[in-house]
Chains A and B, each alone.
Chain A
């Protein structure tokens, strides 16, 4: 039964790959619910003896062992920064994507290529120049400073993705709408926008996750509770000689959960967006 065998082999391989990808994550999540001493125990304790919320209580300043880390502030910063930068990036991505898909203008291809090329520069390479500029104009350690960086980081991608979705919508639909009595603006919102919604949603998720998870730039541009985000906050658990793995993992869980929830919520759209991106010429 070679066919059966085939299925088994591919199932096993898939399982192995998923284990390799998933296990560290699972370990982090589990560790979030275990005391530090169990995490560091030698030989390793594979199956937790007891799961508790003590770590979470600790980092929120409740319970017996207090860890002085302002998680609530970090969470608020992360949320404000990720949401605001996503909203702005999507607004610009929608206008830009629409313009690239629908209008003819000078240097269109050049501008588009430039946008795409800007994505080849790793964000971290920009951190020093950005740091210097930001410090000169006083944007270091502000939410606004980070929002600006993330917007810039996300725009090329959102424009590219949304452009592709608008391109797929025949322009006759908007034209039919206009002949039917719409202004161009109405035709956009009533016809083109609903059709591109899944693309816009996936662009938004990608932008949100990028901002939510970003560490390298944020660690350079933030200093205090005014602007530090959750990933940067993780480093608070490292002292000179010790690392509070338990607290760190608990906080990682706090970072992962909203991202995971969001991804599940819009999974269907996300897949549409991804597979679509795959065939876009």
Chain B
């Protein structure tokens, strides 16, 4: 049973505060992913949990202990680093067994546990090699083996896949997920790749500039982004965001270029006349008639001209613009699109997100 609890956790380098009093409860066996753009404080937060970075303020609980002042080795966590950090002067076997050896586990037990971990990760044939003789993917496995062999309370991953090529990354992603199912430990996983976050996480924490912007399951943060930042960060291709003004009398929100869309039903009560808003439209929800995912729902029609189309096979991305802002739509069952072709787009209105123009907060979310 290992929950991790961060309360008021703050980190400053000198006068510069980089993590601002964040609160976070991580459940036992949970796979929690910290995601956010570069420099937002993900690594710093993770390293504070590991004990590699001193805490400026607040507390960290691991299990029922406050670990603020404990050294990394007293926290029973293990960590996988972005550059793997395998010990270059030790064989794979020694790398895996190092932690147990330091803990003075009996030689025989080390042997069994190392073999077991090696089997789980499929690196049994590599045991006598040096790290320099391994490929990136193999190093990655060894690093994970080293993490699981000690059977820690909490696993910490800092962008473990970012040095792998795209294909291997997808493969290892799945393996990490399987591994978690198998060893059932609490995991805190840092990445700046929102796809990785969505696919791996039980819950996602989206960070920006040292603040937590939203915490939720992948579907929650996708379907109810707390603000424009989360809206544009989660989802690929990113959410289109357009400025608009609420016209309650007409029941719509007017956009640039004389276009307007109906007010989504669920947001109506939360909007006021003349309110400036940002309209968030995911490319999935904007498709030429007959080519959409959500064709059957409440819809509005927009006629737009397509400047560029990018066929991806099962779908084609369409680039158009409203009021000079680039807008992407998605066409399923694609057909050829002529350059500058004018098309009738269907917008799934109830899937549109409305944010306050000032501050960017989703109008559906109370703070």
Contacts and interface: CB of A to CB of B under 8 A. Distances in A.
Interface in A177-234: 177-183, 186, 190-191, 194-195
B102 interface: yes
Q: Is the interface of A mostly helix, strand, loop or mixed?
A: helix
B73 A183 contact: yes
B183 interface: no
B99 A181 contact: yes
Task: From A179, A181, A190, A194, name the one whose CB has the most chain B CB atoms within 10 angstroms.
Answer: A179
A172 B102 contact: no
A121 to B, nearest CB: 35
Interface residues of A, number: 17
A179 B102 contact: no
A24 interface: no
B99 A180 contact: yes
B72 A178 contact: yes
Contact of A172 (B73, B77, B85, B89): B85
Contacts of A274: none
Contacts of A194: 89
Contacts, number: 58
Contacts of B73: 178-183
B187 to A, nearest CB: 15
B52 A195 contact: no
A180 B146 contact: yes
Contact of A176 (B71, B81, B89, B103): B81
A135 B103 CA distance: 54
A170 B85 contact: yes
Contacts of B81: 172, 175-176
A194 to B, nearest CB: 5
A172, A180, A182 interface centre (most CB from chain B within 10 Å)? A180
B246 interface: no
A175 B85 contact: yes
B87 to A, nearest CB: 6
A159 to B, nearest CB: 23
Contacts of A172: 81, 83, 85
A173 B85 contact: yes
B52 A183 contact: no
Contact of B79 (A176, A182, A186, A191): A176
B351 interface: no
Given A172-B81, A191-B87, A195-B88, 19 more contacts: A170-B85, A175-B50, A175-B52, A175-B85, A176-B79, A176-B81, A177-B98, A178-B52, A178-B71, A179-B52, A179-B72, A179-B73, A179-B77, A180-B78, A180-B102, A181-B99, A182-B73, A183-B73, A194-B89
Closest 10 CB pairs of A and B: A180-B99, A172-B85, A181-B102, A176-B85, A178-B72, A181-B73, A172-B81, A179-B79, A179-B72, A181-B99
Interface of B: 50-52, 71-73, 77-79, 81, 83, 85, 87-89, 98-99, 102-103, 146, 150, 156
Interface of A: 170, 172-173, 175-183, 186, 190-191, 194-195
10 contacts: A173-B85, A175-B52, A179-B52, A179-B72, A179-B73, A179-B156, A180-B102, A180-B146, A180-B150, A183-B71
